[in-house]
Structure 1
């Protein structure tokens, strides 16, 4: 699968590397330093390029930029019509300490308004990036930790589910984009658990229904 990475920081850089290692054709884009893109690409046999090059003929695109950069990267990406876009960005303020959208709307819904013809799926934004490689290293071991995943396009969600499993997680279908209003605030709880509480940031979670 051809995957374009829009934003190559902690989230985009790690997920892009893992997907490349899993055998996907990955193109990294959108970083302040082109040398960083080239380094990421060179380490895993991927490509580096502009946003336009990353999305060209892509089967899926990962949006992994800070909320403050959303307008700039979307302008470079164009209308994204018909494209499967996995969003792991949260609507955070400049200090990453609070959500700037919530309860009456959500970051996911606001992005969908900006590019209404894209096939949006939100995922990984409730998972600390420090957990990605430990989970990838344990891929195939049960029970797998989960990724809250939500979107209105069933086909796009199926593509996202496959990419989530490629990292070693299990997708947890959390319904439509409307539910982002309640899921995005949960990410702030994972920030507390991962970065404030003791034990290190490689936090995972799993929700199970008890039967019997």
Structure 2
């Protein structure tokens, strides 16, 4: 699968690297440093280029930028009509302490309003990036940790679910895109547990129903 990475920070770089290790054709883009993109592509055996390069012909795109950069990266990406985009952004302020969108709408819904013809799926935004490599290394273990996955396009969610499984998680169906109104605040809880509480940031979760 051809995957474009829009935003090569902690989330995008780690997910792109792991998907490349799974055999996907990955293109990294959108970093403050061209040298970093070159290093990432060399490490992953992947490509790097402009946002337009990453989007062109991609079977799936990962949007993984700070909320303040969303408008810029979408301008560079174009309309992405019909493309599947996995969104792991949380709509945070510049200090990364407060949500700037929430409860009556969500960052995910705002993105869908900006690009209504794009096939949006939200996932990975409730798991710290520090967990990705340990989970990948234990991907044969069972039960697997989960990733909340939500959106309005069933086909897009199916593709996203496959990419979630490639990394070593199970996708946890969490309903339509409007679920983001409650998941994005939950991401703040997982951040508190990962970064402010003892035990280190490699936090995972699993929800089970008791029959």
Superposition TM-score, scaled by structure 2 size: 1.00
Aligned to 1:202: 202
* Structure 2 match to 1:174: 174
Alignment of 1:114-193 (within 5 A): 114-193=114-193
C-alpha distance in structure 1 between counterparts of 2:98 and 2:169, whole Å: 26
| 3-state secondary structure, aligned to 1:144 | coil
After superposition, the C-alpha distances for 1:1-53 in whole angstroms (9 at most, x for unaligned) are 00000000000000000000111000000001111000000001000000000
Matched residue SS, 1:209: coil
Aligned residue in 2 for 1:92: 92
1:94-129 CA deviation, whole Å, 9 max, x = no partner? 010011100000000000000000000000000000
**Equivalent position of 2:21 in the other structure:** 21
Q: CA deviation at 1:93?
A: 0.4
Q: CA RMSD in A?
A: 0.4
Where does residue 68 of structure 1 map in the other structure?
68
Aligned to 1:112: 112
Distance 2:188 2:110 in 1: 19
Distance in 2 between residues matched to 1:44 and 1:109, nearest whole Å: 32
Q: How many residues align?
A: 211
Q: What is the CA deviation profile of residues 158-205 of structure 1, one whole-angstrom value per residue up to 9, with x for unaligned ones? A: 000000000000000000001100111000000110000000000000
Q: List alignment gaps of at least 5 residues for structure 2.
A: none
Long gaps (5+) in structure 1: none
Partner Cα distance (2:182, 2:87) in 1? 16
Question: Quick one: distance in 2 between partners of 1:121 and 1:140?
Answer: 25
